[in-house]
Amino acid sequence: MITKQKISIGLAGLLGFALLTWLGSVVYNEYKSYEWQKRTDAMQEAMVGPYRTDTYGGKTPEETWAMFLEALKKKDVELASKYFEVERQAEWKNTLNTTLNADKLDMVIKNLSSNLERDTNVSTPEKVYYSYTFIDRTSGKKLKNSLVFSLNQYTKVWKISVL
C-alpha cells in the first residue's frame, strides 16, 4: 500500500535527484566557462606578450630614431630592426639584411640622417608623424619621405611604424 510517508520519501528523492542534476549542470557550465576563459586569457597573452616585453626604443620618437641610426651605423641590423613595431620587426630585419648584403647600407644611413621635421597637424599623443628629406641618387632631386612613430602602450617606448 502507498502511504503518505512513501509518497513524501519518493517526492523528496525526486526533488533531491532534480537538485543534484541541476547542481551538476551548474558546476559543469562553470567549469566550461573557466576553461574558455583560460584559453581566451592565453590567446590574449600570446598576442599582447611581445608588446609587454618589447623595451627597444626611446622615451621620445627622436631618441628612438637616433638609436635606430646608431645601430645601422654599427651595421647591427638585428638591433636596428628591434626599433620597429613588434609585428614589423622580422620584415625589417630581412629588408635591412638585404640592404647590408647589397652594400647599400651606408647610402641608406646618409639618406636617413637628415633632420626630422615633425608634422604637428596630424600627430596624436600615441602616434607622431615626421618627414625627412633625402637626395634621390638617380635624379639628384631633394625628396621628402614620411616617417611614423607609435607609442608602445605597455612599455612606453616609441617604435618606428612606417619608414
25 and 103, same domain (yes or no): no
Among all chains, which residue has been given the C-alpha cell 608588446? 51
32 and 72, same domain (yes or no): no
129 and 151, same domain (yes or no): yes
Are the beta carbons of 115 and 75 closer than 8 angstroms?
Answer: no
> Rounded CA gap, 160 and 127, in Å?
10
Quickly state the pLDDT bin for 149 (edges 50, 70, 90). Answer: very high
145 and 126, same domain (yes or no): yes
106 and 89, same domain (yes or no): yes
Q: Is the pLDDT of residue 15 over 80?
A: yes
CATH of the domain at 138: 3.10.450
Are the beta carbons of 150 and 163 closer than 8 angstroms?
Answer: no
Domain count, the chain: 2
33 and 113, same domain (yes or no): no
> Rounded CA gap, 103 and 82, in Å?
21
> Rounded CA gap, 93 and 79, in Å?
9
Q: What is the pLDDT of residues 83-95, one digit of tens each?
A: 999 999 999 999 9
75 and 15, same domain (yes or no): no
Stretch 53-63: mean pLDDT: 94
> Rounded CA gap, 39 and 33, in Å?
10
Q: What is the pLDDT of residues 63-117, one digit of tens each?
A: 999 999 999 999 999 999 999 999 999 999 999 999 999 988 888 888 888 778 8
pLDDT at 59: 95
86-98 in b/e form (b: 16+ CB < 10 A) is: bebbeebbebbee
Range of the domain at 130: 61-162
38 versus 159: the higher-pLDDT residue is: 159
> Rounded CA gap, 127 and 86, in Å?
15
Are the beta carbons of 129 and 33 closer than 8 angstroms?
Answer: no
